[in-house]
Amino acid sequence: MAAPVTTIPLPAAASPNAPGTETPNYTPALASLTVLFFMMGFVTVMNDILIPYLKGLFTLSYTEVSLVNFCFFGAYLIMGIPAGSLVKKVGYKNGMLAGFLVAALGAFLFYPAAEGRTFPLFLGALFVLASGIVTLQVAGNPYVSILGPPESASARLTLTQAFNSLATAFGPYVGTKLILSQLPDPKHMTAAQAAALDVVPVQQLYLAVGAIMLLISAILFFIKLPHIAHEPAKEGDTSRAWHSRHLLLGLLGIFTYVGAEVAIGSHIVSYLNQSEVMNLSAEIAGYWVMAYWGGAAVGRFVGTVIMRNIKPNKLLFFNALGAIALILISINTSGELAMYSLLAVGLMNSIMFPVIFTLAVAGLGRHTEDASGLLSASIVGGAIIPLFFGIVADGAIGSGGVHSLRWAFVLPVLCYAYIAWYGLKGHQPAAA
């Protein structure tokens, strides 16, 4: 039987710290959630290492290897709404426990997938792993956003998401050391070299991830977390989460943000490997992935402070414009300028997810869990946009090679243009 939880009623339109009430101490709960966000970030960023590795192991095209992101982020579309229903039924804490257990199972499935050297098995393991991460997202993000005053929700979620970004900065180093360091130059890899690639490091890495997931779930089981109870629906109230315009537009905001971020991060190694950019080996380029995700970590810590004086929606607008400018600089230059400007997009990405999320669920009260499930489903953008990115990069549009890869970055530019509009106008609450 799980440890008892403290129940704290939360009226739909009131702050949990309303005047005349004792201010609850949420610090222990928020501190424990940083571990959750760290693991979610670590598992997700490993895709950026798996993509060049599996591309070499199975001699895949850009389009084919994009199925890694398609299966991982496709789980958000399929499992997002069911996960929201689960969390609404069993509560935030039990939802997190379920997420860790499912994610652990998915991580353990990497062992037989690697042993059999079968790409479809890798994709299946990724889907199961992602299903656990979806549940963690659905439970963790809204829990943080409502665990305190509404006016500081964006800053609070940005701070906890910063630990997610720390993991995404740290993860590529671990993955590169264990996996990409053994990968020959992708441009000159032979079939014999691909067949001889060692899969043991992949097995060891994901066995360790699964074990850590189980350990965290065991610890979480005994931690006392506040239980947030929303005000029940009033008689005659037939409203639903999707009746809110700012939520619907926020769904597209999350879709485009995740799609753009993943499309860029997943192809940094290939981009820096191009002779017209930096001509780096897969191993060296893999280390530079850390800079992309590290920028997001730094930006989230800094953004938490900035949002004390600047409204989150205005910061979102500024960062989206910054991302557009940096991508355009990168694809129109070469060498170090092309590399550094693309990596700097990670800094612009930093506050986007937490700000879009909190703007989208603002004022939804009892619909928060349903909205979180919908927003998590929209993370499927990480499956759809990178797939089209891969199609363009393979030369279906453009002249092939590095030029088509550069053309593909136009897709993230379009995504950031929408995010800029959402920060400027689309976030404003209104009935759909």
Span 338-383, pLDDT tens digits:
999 999 999 999 999 989 988 998 777 666 767 777 888 898 999 8
Residue 302 placed within a domain: yes
Lowest mean pLDDT among 24-28, 161-165, 218-222, 338-342: 24-28
Residue 98 placed within a domain: yes
Evaluate whether 372 touches 360 at the Cβ level (below 8 Å). no
List pLDDT tens digits, range 54-68: 888 888 888 888 899
What is the bridge-based pairing of β-strands 226-230 and 6-10? parallel
CA distance 28 to 49: 33
Residue 222 placed within a domain: yes
Domain housing 387: 28-231+241-426
Specify the CATH number for the domain of residue 326.
Answer: 1.20.1250.20
Look at the chain and report how many structural domains it folds into.
1
**Residues 204, 208, 213, CA angle at the centre, nearest 5°?**
150
Lowest mean pLDDT among 4-8, 71-75, 86-90, 342-346: 4-8
Compute the residue count for the chain: 432
Residue 184 placed within a domain: yes
Residue 18 placed within a domain: no
Please name the amino acid found at residue 296.
Answer: A
Q: Which tokens in the block code for residue 389?
A: 């990115």
CA distance 366 to 10: 9
Residue 17 placed within a domain: no
CA distance 281 to 105: 33
List pLDDT tens digits, range 84-115: 888 888 888 889 899 999 999 999 999 999 99
Answer whether residue 424 shows pLDDT above 50.
yes
Residue 420 placed within a domain: yes
Residue 21 placed within a domain: no
Predicted confidence at residue 282, as pLDDT, reads 83
Q: How far is CA 397 from CA 20, 84, 213, 338, 371, in A?
A: 62, 38, 42, 21, 37
Predicted confidence at residue 339, as pLDDT, reads 96
* Gap between the terminal Cα atoms of the chain: 43
User: What residues form DSSP beta bridges with 7?
Assistant: 227
CA distance 66 to 60: 9
CA distance 108 to 213: 11
